[in-house]
Chain A
Amino acid sequence: MNSFTDAALPATDSTATTKEAPDLDAQLAKFTGTVGNVRVDNAKMSMTGVDVHYGDAQAIHNVDLDLGKNEVMAMIGPSGCGKSTFLRCLNRMNDTIESCKVAGSLTLDGEDIYERNQDVVLLRARVGIVFQKPNPFPKSIYDNVAYGPRIHGLAASKSELDDIVEQSLKRASLWSEVADRLDNPGTGLSGGQQQRLCIARTIAVSPEVILMDEPCSALDPIATAKIEELIDELGKNYTIAIVTHSMQQAARVSDRTAYFHLGRLVEVGVTNDIFTNPTHQLTENYITGRFG
């Protein structure tokens, strides 16, 4: 048990790195397959045997997981364990990374999303993503939010588009801060505001599945609470996968929780069970703060 605490410390001296290698092996030795039920009855997305390689390095090892309809799935795990990588597989954003190779079966409503004749444009309109790093377009706040509806032709008129922009910004609880300066550049906002702008931009398209990669990492508790409210509300009609480093957040917003470790899906379960009664030792170590 003590060895994990050591590994968790940042490598301030060289001795720590040499100690780490056997620890990784020790941790992997404890992994024998995902604990808990990865499948649900009414799956929106269903992943089976997903392997992801960056060049020669494998980032995701044989992961099976379902995202249920109108379910909020939290993905937690130590930094570098592959949460973002897995999330980006779900709408094929990894296609943009040349060295990245995805194998396995991933389906949306029963259709394989990596199939040859799968239209990625349509897929990404259905499966939206909020990236880990806020990346607003260097355009006006209005244009940032309006871009998705514009390219998909979701608004018939200017007033309808105005409406979508306003609603999206309101739901991302950014409206009150930017209502009077919609023409200012989105890149001129603060880090947290940019994060909410990116959320507004994604939900403006009303995708069926929303992938959120640490959407609250730069937000204060009040803004965080508002985003969590938004996730709660969206979760009634949409499928949401959210990556977070905050246990409390995962516990508050999600229906189920998946714990990733070194590219493996260690444990999946109903959120309450995971946090009150984790089965796997790695999960327990992580959520009790002995690792990560």
Chain B
Amino acid sequence: MSETTEIVRASLAKRYARERRFRLLGLASVMASAAFLVLLLGNILTKAWPAFTTTYVKIDVPLTPEVLRLPDAPDSEAIASARYGRAVKQAMRDLFPDVSSRSEKRALYQTVSAQAEFTVKDAVIANPELIGTTHSLWVLADDDLDTYRKSKSLQAVPEEDRRFKDFQVTWLEELSAQNRIKTSFNWVFFERGDSREPELAGIRGALAGSFYTLIVTLALSFPIGVAAAIYLESFAPRNRLTDLIEVNINNLAAVPSIVFGLLGVAVFINFLHLPRSAPLVGGVVLSLMTLPTIIIASRAAIKSVPPSIADAALGLGASRMQAVMHHVLPLAMPGILTGTIIGMAQALGETAPLLMIGMVAFIVDVPTGITDPATVLPVQVYLWSDSPERAFTERTSAAIVVLLVFLILMNAFAVYLRKRFERSW
């Protein structure tokens, strides 16, 4: 008895020291990963920050019939096809009457976005009584002006190295002095699809594309994956064949994603003639990728449910299906959902296979269904990061932020679902 006490006491210091070392090690690794995360997020957020605001210019648009080239007593069709671009140009010339050279005039017109004439058009269509008056309107500024305003570092760059020249800077200063410049939240970025003009390029198209693609992926891989896991765990006999299937599923999880893209082109586009660049094909290809993840996680979750629970149901005369559906599956659900969300997060960030099936195209329209041409968030990031304009650089980071927020929302939803299911324990 006392001998045991002696031996235990002698080893205590050593045991505690080991525990302390382990704790320190754990803490250090947590700190290191946290530091990397902060660094990464900080970097992206500071870069993305400017993209969330944009500059507007107030112009006084002369909406006279002469400028708009409108007949007397115009009908709605005439109003829709009126020359609003002329009105915007006229407004700009009115602001700076001294500008005379052709090239400077062109620069002057480009101070506001090409979108400006449509803003004017919408205003007139909404209120035709404006015709004949001079109407003050906030229109979107060009991206060069916008970037110059927002970037201190760009302002310090010598004139020949920047796109926004000194004479344009004087215009900007004059407009500011007249209170014709304002900064506001960049709704355009969230309301529009892609565009060649950075100030008009938005994330909405890619967001919708990602959404539809993930819906297809989830709709396919979740039921199939869970059904496969249930079958393999609860019904399949243990034999050579099921062993082979198991090995193959594990292998499938390790196949490089681009291979699935090639498969997608060969089977879904060339053979089945499904539409190119569509979330439908993207979703199917991604579900091939996420299936193994979901199956493996679901099997582990089902396996971890104590067999005594299923026994209890079977002992009462439940069929195997009932025992699984009523008892095993609900208890395995938290684990299954975790696996599913990991798979979906992988799918959300996947680029390579989608490039293969043509989801890399330049698509302006926001997709409204799973067969519309679309692109997805990571591909959009990739596309923008390739563009030389400074405004696209900040939009690239902003798109990454949107991607991360999407991911966080998805995870939060999964955590919520998991909590709901766990309550039934």
Contact = CB atoms under 8 A, between A and B. Distances in A.
A121 B319 contact: yes
Contacts of A185: 425
B333 to A, nearest CB: 12
A177 B316 CA distance: 24
Interface in B394-425: 424-425
Task: Pick the most buried of A93, A147, A202: most chain B CB atoms within 10 A of its CB.
Answer: A147
Interface in A158-208: 185, 187, 198, 201-202, 205
Given A93-B311, A131-B311, A147 B316 contact: yes
B317 A205 contact: yes
Contact of A131 (B315, B318, B331, B424): B315
Given A138-B424, A187-B425, A96 B313 contact: no
Contacts, number: 64
B314 A96 contact: yes
Contact of B317 (A135, A136, A137, A151): A151
A125 interface: yes
Interface string B126-144: 0000000000000000000
Contacts of B238: 98
B219 interface: no
Contact of A135 (B312, B331, B424, B425): B312
A202 B425 contact: no
Contact of A124 (B306, B309, B317, B425): B317
B310 interface: yes
B308 A135 contact: yes
A129 B306 CA distance: 18
B368 interface: no
Given A137-B327, A139-B424, A96 B317 contact: no
B309 A151 contact: no
A198 B316 CA distance: 10
B425 A198 contact: no
Contacts of B307: 96
B314 A122 contact: no
A152 interface: yes
Query: Secondary structure of the B side of the interface?
Result: helix
B319 A147 contact: no
B154 to A, nearest CB: 62
Interface residues of B, number: 21
Contacts of B317: 121-122, 124-125, 128, 148, 151-152, 205
B311 A135 contact: yes
Contact of B316 (A133, A139, A205): A205
Task: Pick the most buried of B308, B311, B315: most chain A CB atoms within 10 A of its CB.
Answer: B315
Contacts of A151: 316-318, 322, 326
Interface string B291-328: 00000000000000011111111111111001000110
A124 B323 CA distance: 13
Kindly state the interface size class of chain A when it binds its partner: 20 to 34
B301 to A, nearest CB: 15
Contacts of A148: 316-317
A91 B317 CA distance: 10
Task: Pick the most buried of B306, B316, B331, B425: most chain A CB atoms within 10 A of its CB.
Answer: B316
A123 B76 CA distance: 79
A137 B309 contact: yes
B315 A124 contact: yes
A122 B307 CA distance: 21
Interface in A180-238: 185, 187, 198, 201-202, 205
A98 B306 CA distance: 16
A138 B331 contact: yes
B331 A124 contact: no
A198 B312 CA distance: 9
B314 A93 contact: yes
Contacts of B312: 131, 135-137, 198, 201
Across the A-B interface, give the 10 residue pairs with the lowest CB-CB distance, nearest first: A125-B317, A135-B308, A148-B316, A124-B317, A135-B312, A129-B315, A138-B425, A121-B319, A121-B317, A151-B318
27 contacts: A91-B315, A93-B315, A96-B307, A96-B310, A96-B314, A98-B238, A121-B319, A122-B317, A124-B315, A128-B315, A128-B317, A133-B308, A135-B309, A137-B309, A137-B312, A138-B309, A138-B331, A139-B424, A147-B313, A147-B318, A147-B326, A151-B316, A151-B317, A151-B326, A152-B317, A185-B425, A187-B425
